[in-house]
Amino acid sequence: MENWIPFVQKCDDEGVETITTKDQLETEQLIEEREKNNFRVLRNNHRDYFLQLISGLPPAMSKLCSEEPWIPYWFLNSMHVLNLDKIPNFQFYEQSCINYINKRKSSKGGYASAPSQRGHIVLGYVSINSIALSQKVSNYETIDRKAVYEWIMSLKQPNGSFASESGCEADSRSTYCAICIAYLLDILTEELTANVAEFLVNCQGTDGGFAPIPGCESHGGYGFCSVAALDMLGRLSDIRLDHAIRWVAERQMPFSGGFNGRPCKLVDTCYTWWCGAMGRILADFAGIDDFWNDEALATYVLQVCQSNDGKGGCCDKPGKRPDMYHTMYGLTGLSAASRKIIKEKTGFELCEVDARVGIEKIAVDEMKEYFSKIPFSI
| 3-state secondary structure at position 229 | helix
238 catalytic? Reply is no
Instruction: Of 248, 224, 266, give the one whose Cα is nearest residue 19.
Output: 266
DSSP 67: G
149 catalytic? Reply is no
d(CA 245, CA 269): 20
| 3-state secondary structure at position 311 | coil
Helix axes 43-55, 324-337, angle to 10 degrees: 140
Query: Of the residues 156, 326, 339, 356, which is catalytic?
Result: 326
290 catalytic? Reply is no
d(CA 206, CA 123): 31
271 catalytic? Reply is yes
Expressed in percent and rounded to 5, the helix, strand and coil fractions of the chain are 55, 5, 45
In DSSP terms, 53 is beta-bridged to none
46 catalytic? Reply is no
316 catalytic? Reply is yes
325 catalytic? Reply is no
Report the half-sphere exposure of 39 (CA within 13 A, side-chain side).
18
Query: Of the residues 171, 186, 294, 323, which is catalytic?
Result: 323
Please answer whether residues 127 and 120 qualify as being in contact, where contact means their C-beta atoms are separated by less than 8 angstroms: no
Question: What are the start-end ranges of the H helices in 155-293?
Answer: 172-185, 190-193, 196-201, 220-233, 241-249, 271-286
Encoded amino acid at 202, one letter: N
Buried b (16+ CB within 10 A) or exposed e, 62-84: eeeeeebbbbbbbbbbbbbbbeb
Q: Residue 83 to residues 50, 77, 125, 335: CA-CA distances in angstroms?
A: 13, 10, 22, 11
Query: Of the residues 136, 265, 345, 368, which is catalytic?
Result: 265
Instruction: Of 331, 318, 351, give the one whose Cα is nearest residue 50.
Output: 331
265 catalytic? Reply is yes
Query: Of the residues 136, 246, 262, 320, which is catalytic?
Result: 262
Query: Of the residues 85, 268, 294, 354, which is catalytic?
Result: 268
Query: Of the residues 104, 316, 339, 351, which is catalytic?
Result: 316
d(CA 233, CA 178): 12
d(CA 274, CA 334): 11
Encoded amino acid at 192, one letter: L
118 catalytic? Reply is no
d(CA 66, CA 350): 31
Q: Which residues belong to the active site?
A: 219, 262, 265, 268, 270-271, 316, 323, 326
